[in-house]
Chains A and B, each alone.
Chain A
Amino acid sequence: MTATSAHAEPPPHPTLSPEGRGQPLLSVNNIEVVYSDVILVLRGLSLAVPPGQIVALLGANGAGKSTTLKAISGLLRTEDGAITRGEVRFAGEPIQALDAGRIVRKGVFQVMEGRRIVADMTVIENLRLGAFTRRDRAVGADIDRVFHFFPRLKERTGLAGYLSGGEQQMLAIGRALMAQPKLILMDEPSMGLSPLLVKEVFAIIQQLNRELGITILLVEQNARMALQVASYGYVMENGKVVLDGTAAELANNEDVKEFYLGGSGERRSFKNLKSYRRRKRWI
């Protein structure tokens, strides 16, 4: 840890639930993830998500954010990855040995990066697919609930492949709601969307959290947006958490400002900027 600014020191045990509020809904303890038996991607990552909150996971490309989400949801195995050390606990139970289907049934649902809706199905078929793990008869009512949150999906009766990017993202989130999850792992919901749509999507994420009480672990490139909706945040680099704190703390942190929020005020020459960046890596 070579972070220079004094207030950027992470707490000694990031596994303890942030703000010390009881037991976290999700806790990831010191996990190590290896792809194809050789590529070490996560090296001792720990984080905790308290129930009912939005927690942001920030970091540069390749830091291992998506891998973290896949390690939690069990989708890692579909990419020849494995958790080789550490533990993932959801609602107190270890889930790292379960397959993806079991984890969805426990109430953890991942909305994957790039929306990944089924393009040759209709909106309603996509939504019903989201309810795959359920066998109750309330699926129809839940479709209406999704349309309540995303009224513009209701008008789209054709194939989901013809939806606009924003609508596809809404469908991806709506599809997650159909599984009635307790925790949604959201990977880059703002990817490829116009600033206006990003605002809309984030407003809905907040609304879901508030009205339905769904806990959200949010991975974002758009750190400014993420820290506005989240209550707590983690910053990752090279497969581990290098910084964490409340959203307000992170938003005011000089390093976070410099790396993720951009433009900290004073103008620097390109040369200075480069050397500054090089000096201030969090390793």
Chain B
Amino acid sequence: MDLTLLGQLLLNGVIVGTLYGVVAMCFVLIYKASQVVNFAQGEFLLIGAWVCWSMLTTYQIPFVWSFLITLVFMLVFGVLLQIVVLRPLIGEPVIAVIMVTIGLSIVFQALMKWMFGVFAQPFPPIFERDSVTIGALEVKTVYVMSMIVSVIIMAGFGYFFKATRLGLAMRATAFDQQVAQSMGVSIHQVFALSWAISAMVSAVAGVVIGIVSGVSSGLSFYGIKVFPAVILGGLDSIVGGVVGGIVIGVLENLAHYLDSQFLHWGNMIEIAPFYVLIVILMIKPYGLFGTRDIERV
């Protein structure tokens, strides 16, 4: 038993898990507001990370400004994507919309490879100190930053949905579109807003992961990892997304520990979340926090 390794992996799990949680929230946000299952969620991370990276390296803009430009870019990108691609699909069958988001994912993936190449590119160092010590554990500064950013995003989501006019409008739209409209809410605006927020926040996660481990097309894999997280948490629960993300993060690192210490099967860290996905779908298809669809006559 290597306890230091276990501790390190658990910490990793929590840190990566909160990032999964953030991406899962973004995914759930779009699903709740507009009932679209967004298979291109991972590409949002990728695009955000590449935009920020090119601002930093190609245009030599300081990090803070690069980051803000990235956010504005993603805001516009999200709104345009909703208006141009998804708005005409309102009222079409779910499967058609899903196919379109899968298509978007492939197009963005290819576009990014075309524009930035296939090799991973490291972010220029942003922190002066590479790591800090918390208790007995050595933690990379970027991980601490990642954790702080994730928690701020989650608190921001909480505040937005509890206390702001638009947040309430989004919740009302998710609950009953006609009621929201009877209050004067424009559901087109809510849809566009949900895509914009989702794209922006995903980009933040993308930049954070990019800083930690470089930017490459592997980033879009987070969009796939999000599925175990949201299925575990419940497809329509934002809190569920966060909890699911953290659980999946910890679980995959535990699996990695078991694998490297005892089993030696290899690559458990990659597939463990998907075992969870299958098990959850079999025993609790609505997830921990999801609403059960009750058919009323």
Indicate if the CB atoms of B169 and A132 lie closer than 8 Å: yes
What 1/0 mask marks residues of chain A from 114 to 139 whose CB sits below 8 Å from any chain B CB?
00111111000100111111010000
**In the complex, chain A residues whose CB is within 8 Å of the CB of B179:** 112, 116-118
Name the segment of A100-108, A247-255, A273-281 touching the other chain: A100-108
Indicate if the CB atoms of B178 and A75 lie closer than 8 Å: yes
Does B182 belong to the interface (CB within 8 Å)?
yes
Among B162, B176, B184, which residue has its beta carbon within 8 angstroms of that of A118? B176
Does B261 belong to the interface (CB within 8 Å)?
no
What 1/0 mask marks residues of chain B from 156 to 190 whose CB sits below 8 Å from any chain A CB?
00000010010011011001111101111110000
**In the complex, chain B residues whose CB is within 8 Å of the CB of A112:** 178-179, 182
**In the complex, chain A residues whose CB is within 8 Å of the CB of B178:** 75, 78-79, 112, 116
Residue of B162, B176, B178, B183 most packed against chain A (CB within 10 A): B183
Indicate if the CB atoms of A120 and B171 lie closer than 8 Å: yes
Can you show 30 pairs from A to B with CB atoms below 8 A apart?
A: A73-B182, A75-B178, A75-B181, A75-B182, A78-B177, A78-B178, A78-B181, A100-B184, A101-B185, A101-B186, A104-B182, A104-B183, A116-B178, A116-B179, A118-B179, A120-B171, A120-B175, A121-B172, A125-B162, A125-B168, A128-B165, A128-B168, A129-B168, A129-B172, A129-B183, A130-B183, A132-B169, A132-B184, A133-B183, A179-B184
Count contacts between A and B, CB distance < 8 Å: 65
**In the complex, chain B residues whose CB is within 8 Å of the CB of A129:** 168-169, 172, 183
From DSSP, what is the main secondary structure of chain B's interface residues?
helix
Q: In the complex, which residue of chain A has the Cβ closest to the Cβ of B169?
A: A132
Q: In the complex, which residue of chain A has the Cβ closest to the Cβ of B291?
A: A120
Q: In the complex, which residue of chain B has the Cβ closest to the Cβ of A185?
A: B182
Within 8 A of B (CB), among A122-170: 125, 128-133, 135
Minimal beta-carbon separation of A72 from chain B (angstroms): 12
The CA-CA distance from A247 to B179 in the complex, in Å, is 31
The 3 closest A-B pairs by CB, nearest first: A104-B184, A133-B184, A101-B184
Does A190 belong to the interface (CB within 8 Å)?
no
Does A200 belong to the interface (CB within 8 Å)?
no
Does A110 belong to the interface (CB within 8 Å)?
yes
The CA-CA distance from A100 to B181 in the complex, in Å, is 6
**In the complex, chain B residues whose CB is within 8 Å of the CB of A175:** 183
Minimal beta-carbon separation of B78 from chain A (angstroms): 22
**Given known A-B contacts A116-B176, A118-B172, A120-B175, A132 and B182 have beta carbons under 8 A apart:** no
Indicate if the CB atoms of B184 and A105 lie closer than 8 Å: yes
Minimal beta-carbon separation of A17 from chain B (angstroms): 27
